[in-house]
Chain A
Amino acid sequence: MISRDEVRHVAELARLELTDEELERIGGQLGAILQSIEKIGELDLSGVPPTANPLNLTNVLRPDEPQEELSVEQALANAPEVEGNLFVVPRID
């Protein structure tokens, strides 16, 4: 089971504000889900290589050539707050 403090800590790591009601409810559901997925611990998988991608791709890089890119206006088009060519964010606390 996952404690309320752990749920709060995970929410903090995820930068997610949860209300007290959400902490209670989502915490309970997380506990049940974690219990069901612990099933994978039954298997002895020592020596089995992990698969991160079904095509087994690693570090796919394209040739280092100039390409068409977004203009500054396009990149900023959906930003909640802009000043000049910059995204505006509140001060770092």
Chain B
Amino acid sequence: MLELSAFELAGKIASGEVSAREAAEAASERVEAAEPEVHAMITPTPELALERAERVDERRARGEELAPWEGVPIAVKDVLSTRGVRTTCGSRILENFEPVYEATALARLGEPVVVGKANMDEFAMGSSTENSAFGPTRNPWDLSRVPGGSSGGSAAAVAAGEGWWALGTDTGGSVRQPAALCGIVGLKPTYGRVSRYGLVAFASSLDQIGPMTRDVRDAALLLSAIAGRDPRDSTSASAEVPDYLAELDRGVEGLRVGIIGEMMGEGIEPGVREVVERAARSLEEAGAEVGEAHLPHQEYALAAYYIIAPAEVSSNLARFDGVRYGMRVEAEGVHEMFRRTRGRGFGDEAKRRIMLGTYALSSGYYEAYYAQAQKVRTRIIEDFRAAFSRFDVLLSPTSPTVAFGLGEKVEDPLAMYAQDICSIPANLAGIPAISVPGGLSEGLPVGVQLMGNHFAEATLLRAARTVEEASGFRFEMRP
């Protein structure tokens, strides 16, 4: 059962061949077996999984029709609110925080059989899951390497079979990059496609919740479950949600695919480049027209992101002050209490970004940094618009490298930030992007990134399915 895809397992649960309870038990046993090595979870929830699974089975026994994703055990990044289950965001400051409501993306799953809250970089800031206050996660492909981040726990959980799929969040690549490094599929939907209600905010104009799955079909299924307008999130989009599964087998005949020239040069490992080139050839052989695309302002995207995201962080994380929730360090006077609580509660990366954002927004620097970065964002959106007038899909690596060693980049924030160089532009523009395993380099998985116009997830899934089929890469549980 553990080797089935989520889609296949859902079919067996719906037909009664496998009970949801059996699936939940199998997942929780796998969590117990893999966790000592992988540490993908902050809080395993075997009892919750069992309780929910039994409810799914009872409903089925009563003759109720189940949604096609119900009963499939899921790992959930610990930045999504789960009612009554602690939600730490990978931070000491929220170590004992228990939300009183459920995130919409989870509630949409009906009775989500949550096997655990997955490890992550603190408040989703990072590219390696080494910034978690609860210790790093390890890559199931090679335990001496990172799983990527910030949804590294979710990615590692899927790769290790701790649940059939997972939810992650992507602010600058945090679903796609760990998916690439762990050999799974990661989809960042269009900004607004999935409600952010119940997601603890990192950078509100960039954050998006996305599926992390064993294959492209599973991604289509999970997206179908969580997409759509939510009155509780005024930035969620009212655009109609297509039947992603039905669209999947349409192939890529006539699709125009552009390889982004600026993302194939310096800094990209040769083995990664080769896999992306092979993916382009497979799309061409399947009937797509392949050419070269350009994003002239790509070289400014990283800098713009590292102004805009920290600026939003400095504002969003102001709420963690020891008054309404989270830890409090006692002190004489309210200001000293704020300072000590935040100084003790936040880790290094959160502090760095709060400082950077506060500086960029402070008097005298606002125009030079924040206002200028927002204008760069406009230029990047214009670049994408021009590219999508010629191409339906843009192709690039997801990450410039394969999984790197634990501790390798911890002391060098700039080297760590460069990990997101290919993924950040999609967040700045709010467009959808998917990472699909395209093959191996040095025995480690390489992710191929496909980007599409706003709300073109169905097209991306079709192209990703073609890459997946041609790559010969199939999900295999590790370690």
B-binding residues in A (CB < 8 A): 2, 6-7, 10-11, 13-19, 22, 26, 29-30, 32-34, 36-41, 43, 45, 48-55, 57, 60-62, 70, 74-75, 77-81, 87, 89-93
* Known contacts A17-B342, A92-B333; is-contact A22 B323 (Cβ 8 Å): no
List of A residues within 8 angstroms of B334 by Cβ: 89-93
Complex formed: what's the CA distance from A2 to B358 in Å? 13
- CB distance A45 to B340 under 8 Å? no
The contact sample of 28 A-B pairs, CB cut-off 8 A, is A2-B359, A6-B359, A13-B362, A16-B346, A16-B351, A17-B339, A33-B413, A33-B417, A34-B356, A34-B359, A36-B303, A39-B299, A40-B300, A40-B373, A45-B375, A45-B379, A50-B377, A50-B378, A52-B205, A53-B430, A62-B234, A79-B323, A81-B328, A90-B330, A90-B331, A91-B333, A91-B334, A93-B332
* Known contacts A54-B205, A90-B333, A93-B335; is-contact A78 B376 (Cβ 8 Å): no
- CB distance A80 to B355 under 8 Å? no
- CB distance A18 to B352 under 8 Å? no
Main secondary structure of the interface of B (DSSP, over half): helix
- CB distance A14 to B333 under 8 Å? no
B304 interface hit (Cβ, 8 Å): yes
B226 interface hit (Cβ, 8 Å): no
With contacts A45-B372, A60-B235, A92-B333 known, what are 13 further pairs, Cβ within 8 A? A11-B355, A17-B340, A39-B299, A40-B303, A43-B375, A48-B379, A51-B374, A51-B381, A55-B192, A70-B101, A78-B324, A78-B326, A91-B333
- CB distance A15 to B348 under 8 Å? no
List of A residues within 8 angstroms of B327 by Cβ: 80
A-B CB pair tally, cutoff 8 Å: 171
List of B residues within 8 angstroms of A51 by Cβ: 374-375, 377-378, 381
Complex formed: what's the CA distance from A15 to B378 in Å? 32
List of A residues within 8 angstroms of B300 by Cβ: 39-40, 43
- CB distance A50 to B337 under 8 Å? no
Complex formed: what's the CA distance from A82 to B340 in Å? 20
List of B residues within 8 angstroms of A70 by Cβ: 100-101
B479 interface hit (Cβ, 8 Å): no
List of A residues within 8 angstroms of B330 by Cβ: 90
- CB distance A16 to B369 under 8 Å? no
- CB distance B333 to A17 under 8 Å? no
Complex formed: what's the CA distance from A29 to B97 in Å? 31
List of A residues within 8 angstroms of B340 by Cβ: 17
Complex formed: what's the CA distance from A40 to B297 in Å? 10
B237 interface hit (Cβ, 8 Å): yes
Tell me the minimal C-beta distance from B93 to chain A in angstroms: 11
- CB distance A48 to B342 under 8 Å? no
List of B residues within 8 angstroms of A53 by Cβ: 205, 235, 430
B422 interface hit (Cβ, 8 Å): no
Tell me the minimal C-beta distance from A84 to chain B in angstroms: 15
A-binding residues in B (CB < 8 A): 97-98, 100-101, 191-192, 205, 231, 234-235, 237, 297, 299-300, 303-304, 306-307, 314, 318, 321-328, 330-340, 342-344, 346, 348, 351-352, 354-356, 358-359, 362, 368-369, 371-379, 381, 413-414, 417, 428-431
Tell me the minimal C-beta distance from B155 to chain A in angstroms: 25
- CB distance A37 to B325 under 8 Å? no
- CB distance B323 to A89 under 8 Å? yes
From A53, which residue of chain B is reached at the shortest CB distance?
Answer: B205
From B348, which residue of chain A is reached at the shortest CB distance?
Answer: A26
List of A residues within 8 angstroms of B325 by Cβ: 78-80
- CB distance A57 to B235 under 8 Å? yes
From A61, which residue of chain B is reached at the shortest CB distance?
Answer: B234
* Known contacts A26-B351, A26-B355, A40-B307; is-contact A80 B332 (Cβ 8 Å): no
From A70, which residue of chain B is reached at the shortest CB distance?
Answer: B100
Tell me the minimal C-beta distance from A83 to chain B in angstroms: 13
* Known contacts A22-B351, A74-B100, A77-B98; is-contact A33 B306 (Cβ 8 Å): yes
Complex formed: what's the CA distance from A64 to B78 in Å? 32
- CB distance B326 to A40 under 8 Å? no
Complex formed: what's the CA distance from A77 to B81 in Å? 15
From A36, which residue of chain B is reached at the shortest CB distance?
Answer: B414
List of A residues within 8 angstroms of B359 by Cβ: 2, 6, 10, 30, 34
Q: Select one of A10, A29, A52, A92 contacting B362, CB under 8 A.
A: A10
- CB distance B414 to A33 under 8 Å? yes
Complex formed: what's the CA distance from A79 to B98 in Å? 11
For the complex of A and B, the 10 pairs showing the least CB-CB separation, nearest first, are: A54-B430, A93-B333, A17-B343, A50-B374, A78-B325, A80-B328, A45-B375, A60-B234, A37-B303, A17-B339
From A78, which residue of chain B is reached at the shortest CB distance?
Answer: B325
- CB distance A62 to B323 under 8 Å? no
List of B residues within 8 angstroms of A92 by Cβ: 333-335
- CB distance B234 to A29 under 8 Å? no
From A19, which residue of chain B is reached at the shortest CB distance?
Answer: B343
* Known contacts A37-B307, A41-B368, A91-B333; is-contact A29 B328 (Cβ 8 Å): no
List of A residues within 8 angstroms of B323 by Cβ: 79-80, 87, 89
List of A residues within 8 angstroms of B231 by Cβ: 62
List of B residues within 8 angstroms of A13 by Cβ: 358, 362
Complex formed: what's the CA distance from A61 to B354 in Å? 28
